[in-house]
Structure 1
Amino acid sequence: MGSTYTVDVRKTAVLTAGLLMGVWVVDYVDRVMIAVALPFIGADFELTKTEQGSLVTVFALVYLLCQIPGGLLADRFGSRRLLVVSLALWSVFTALTGVAWGLVALLVIRALFGVGQGLFPGASFKALSERTTPARRATAAGAMLAASQLGAGLAPLVVAPLLLAFGWRQTFWVTAAAGVAIGLLLWALLPAPLPAGLNGSGDLARPAPPLRSVLRAPSVWKFAALFCATNMLGYGMITWVPSYLLEARGISLLQTGLYAAIPGLVMTVTVILGGWLFDRYFHDRARLYVIPLLLCTAVLLVLMLRAETAAGFTLFQTLAMAVGGLSMMGILGMPVRALPPEVIGSGMGVVNVGGQVAGVIAPVLMGWLVDHYSYTAAFGLLIGTTVLGALIAVAVPQRAEQFHLEPA
């Protein structure tokens, strides 16, 4: 009886992580494809680089504003319904991107797309926490978040041929259909949550903290600041590398898709590895894990900027993103392990607010730097923010007992 129960726990975790990985892949394909399409959208509507960057920034701003509400809704109403509602909304606005008639229409549609996607992260962390045990939660979260890098890597490979075959408008319709399909699978197959004693909730000796204590906890906001600084790299690379390779390096669209895909695909592996390493060796020594990795990433970014060929640029970009993938689960692993399942939706919503501030700043600021200076200046910004992340990491808590939330 005990053996069967253990197998059920494992199966619940594996099926949940697998389904959420599928959704995160579609999430990032739908999100990243705008960067591959930007040169074509910009040409159609005669947009400057700053205006092109604003299409990513407006999404990121609304996405940011929806993080805490999305987490609160997941904690209040449960993860299952919110996951499906989120997926349906963003698929609709992905499709509507293909019928936009100008910059203003694109900005409005991409903002509404941000609402749909902004409800998703808190619900996904809530679903994962309800269906995994605390001891293996960072590993499961690493696998789930690795799927975002897989989606980011697949997006250029999928989108570039579709752009050439059908045009940018029809490409958005094709990817919207994939969102509907994965949403139906999620609704049909997502298992029920584990009993409270297994997923870490319902400890009678330690009442669940009220939601207001999450919003007031300095530790939560420290991790939000850390995620902001380090996520500048991801948003900056996703938004501007395709345009850089096309315009500054003069390579073809298909080559651009291939080169832009490689870092994301490699990072998929290192994020999973990072979750396992954090659970296995560093769950109570987060700084020792994160700071050297961030400094190594900064050095690799310097070498990337000094590369003389597109292949050299991609090599060092890939190495930088790979090391950054290892550090991601040190940055996110601590709050994932330490927050009680009852409030993990809202808690991770706060942390993700920090990450999405980077999404608001990086695309438009880097676009402005390209317009007024150069791509070198734009990518140089990412070196500074990565070093800043290493400095912020000095102040974050390293162990669960340091991650203090007021009890009810």
Structure 2
Amino acid sequence: MGLIGLDPVARSQWTPSRVRRTSVVTVGLLMGIYVIDYIDRVMIAMALPFIGAEFALGKTEQGWLITIFSLVYLVFQIPGGYLADRFGSRRLLLASLLSWSVFTALSGVVRGFVALLVVRALFGIGQALFPGASFKAISERTTPDRRATATGLMLSSNFLGAGLGPLVVAPVLMVFGWRHTFWIVALGGVLIAVLLWTLLPRPLPRRLTVDEADGPDTEAGPAPSGAASLRAVLRTGAVWKFAALFCATNMLSYGMITWIPSYLLEERGISLVQTGVLAAIPFLVMSVCVFLGGWLFDRYFSQRARVFAIPVLAAAAVMLVLMLRAGTTAEFTLYQTLAMGIAGLSFMCVLGMPIRALPTAVVASGMGVVNVGGQLAGVLAPVVMGFLVDRFSYTAAFGFLIVSTVAAALIAIFVPQRPSEFAMATQPGQKEHA
């Protein structure tokens, strides 16, 4: 995206180097926040055996500690996106960081299962403000031709955090116990909130955030605002198709984050520190693959997303089958790593298309809807897999992930595969064409 179309003063201010710097600083800050975010999520999974022992909880009840967060997180995705479109990404990012840090700290204070459920629900509200605001920040501060790469880099830090989480949390749990571990991570959230408020650049001019090569300029003229913009998003069928696809693909990561630590401790009989290392490896690999998938999408597949997504998801399902047949812990971790790395390549086919195609004025609301699908996976996977472990076995629980990954490959057949097919209704009575 060049600077043609801007007035001379704007062109002199927004040089290519400044545009790149704006993108780099924005993505770097958001990556730091997502790392803390996912360390928070991994922390509760690593602490589940200790919380379960202290409160005398079964696996299904332990699963509800993850699911209650995910359920509230899901419900507040669309309101969070709407608030980001209404009040701006900077304010919502800061509010999210500070609130989730408070509730992380409170998680280490509670003395009963019900109280912990309530705190985890409030924690979910705080974190739900973040995704829509982060997608809006990316949309406002990157050019379309590099947006999937930037988004892939930002979201790769999800899995970087999920990978670093066990390595960081396991030793801290051993030394300080699960309650103090929550307080330490909460302090990290407060520190990065200060950095965000201080360093986040101002948005690019709107002319730089629209790509006419992807179709008509959806930003031309006055954009709908407030409730009208949200109604337009909710009428857009393509958004809901991507929400369904994100739900199916995200089962894998939520299922692995929640139950791999318990599986390695209880079924494979390895130590907590070894569990941390083995649980980290697949997510570290996945973080690299999510970024690589974003680059490949921008470079080769932005006009033919299905060609990439369907075979990749099918290959991930095959790796999960081999994982279930593994005889040793090393073999299990190898196939788990391959499955998650391959699946990670598909993430930007799921998220890169809508963030590129949606108008900046409503991108947070639209991605909030898409993220509802992703977080529905967070509601279902922990408790369904917990139930399957209690009723049958870990084999049955991981088999559920094979089914969901195959379902994702099938859903990918029906989603738009290029931005020009992602038509959004912006006026009352207008129909989308995707």
Q: Shorter-chain TM-score category?
A: over 0.9
Residues 303 and 419 of structure 2 are in contact (CA less than 8 Å); yes or no, is this contact kept in structure 1?
A: yes
The DSSP-based 3-state class of the residue aligned with 2:203 is coil
TM-score normalised according to structure 2 size: 0.92
Summarize deviations over 1:224-251 as a string: whole Å, max 9, x none. Answer: 0000011111100000000000000000
Write the distance in 2 (CA, Å) between the matches of 1:367 and 1:221.
Answer: 28
Q: 1:87: which partner in 2?
A: 97
Counterpart check, 1:336 vs 2:355 = yes
> Structure 2: how far apart are the matches of 1:97 and 1:57?
15
Residue 364 of structure 1 is matched in structure 2 by 383
Structure-2 separation of matches of 1:290 and 1:396:
11
Q: Does 1:297 align with 2:316?
A: yes
* Cα contact 2:135–2:367 (8 A) shared by 1: yes
Q: CA shift at 1:31, angstroms?
A: 1.4
CA distance in 2, matches of 1:246, 1:327: 30
Q: What value does the CA root-mean-square deviation take over the aligned residues?
A: 1.3
Q: 1:113 aligns with which of 114, 119, 123?
A: 123
- The alpha-carbon deviation at position 203 of structure 1 amounts to 6.3
**C-alpha distance in 2, partners of 1:205/1:95?**
45
Cα 1:203–1:299, aligned 2, differ >3 Å: closer, same or farther?
Answer: closer
Q: Please name the residue that 1:403 is paired with.
A: 422
Residue 250 of structure 2 aligns with an amino acid whose one-letter code is N
**Could you tell me which residue of structure 2 aligns to residue 177 of structure 1?**
187
Q: Identify if the C-alpha distance between structure 1 residues 377 and 176 changes in structure 2 by more than 3 Å, giving closer, same or farther.
A: same
User: What is the Cα deviation at residue 200 of structure 1?
Assistant: 2.1
* Percent identical residues: 68
**Which amino acid is 1:75 matched to?**
D
Structure 1 gap ranges (5+): none
Q: Determine the C-alpha separation between the residues in 1 that align with 2:132 and 2:293.
A: 21
Q: Which amino acid aligns with 1:338?
A: A
Residues 139, 275 of structure 1: 8 Å contact kept: yes
Matched, 1:208 2:223: yes
* Ranges in structure 2 where 5+ consecutive residues have no aligned partner: 1-10, 212-216, 428-434
Contact persistence 2:81–2:364 (CA under 8 A): yes
1:2 Cα deviation (Å)? 5.5
CA distance in 2, matches of 1:218, 1:3: 39
The equivalent of 1:134 in structure 2 is: 144
SS in 2 for 1:119: helix
Q: Does 1:189 align with 2:199?
A: yes
- Contact 2:235 2:425 (C-alpha < 8 Å) held by counterparts: no
Q: Which amino acid aligns with 2:186?
A: A
Check whether the contact 2:218–2:359 (CA below 8 A) recurs between aligned residues: no
Residue 238 of structure 1 corresponds to 257
1:78 is aligned to 88
The one-letter amino acid paired with 2:282 is P
Q: Which amino acid aligns with 1:249?
A: R
Q: Which residue of 2 aligns with 1:309?
A: 328
Q: Partner of 2:156: helix, strand, or coil? A: helix
Decide whether the 8 Å contact of 1:197 with 1:203 is kept in 2. Answer: no
Contact 1:129–1:199 (CA under 8 A) maintained in structure 2: yes
When residues 214 and 32 of structure 1 are mapped into structure 2, their CA distance, relative to the original with a 3 A threshold, is same
Shift of 1:309: 1.0
Q: 1:205: how far off?
A: 3.9
Name whichever of 90-99 and 201-210 sits farther off: 201-210
Give distance in 1, aligned partners of 2:231 and 2:361.
Answer: 13
Residue by residue, what CA displacement relative to the aligned partner does 1:325-368 show, whole Å, maximum 9, x if unpaired? 10111111110110111100000000000000010000001000
- Structure 1 pair 130–308 and aligned structure 2 pair: CA distance change class (3 A): same
Structure 2 residue 276 is the aligned partner of structure 1 residue 257: yes
Partners of 2:421 and 2:127 lie apart in 1 by 31
SS at match of 1:394: helix
Which residue type is aligned with residue 305 of structure 1? L
Q: Which letter does structure 1 place at the counterpart of 2:296?
A: L
> TM-score w.r.t. structure 1 length?
0.98
- Measured in 2, the distance between the counterparts of 1:395 and 1:271 equals 22
- Partner of residue 364 from structure 2, selected from 338, 345, 353: 345
Shift of 1:3: 9.7
Query: Take 1:203 and 1:172, find their aligned partners in 2: how far apart are those partners?
Result: 44
* CA–CA separation in structure 2 for the residues paired with 1:330 and 1:123: 20
- Work out the CA distance in 2 between the residues paired with 1:220 and 1:204: 17
CA distance in 2, matches of 1:53, 1:349: 24
Contact 2:132 2:365 in 1 (8 A): yes
Give the aligned partner of residue 164 of structure 1.
174
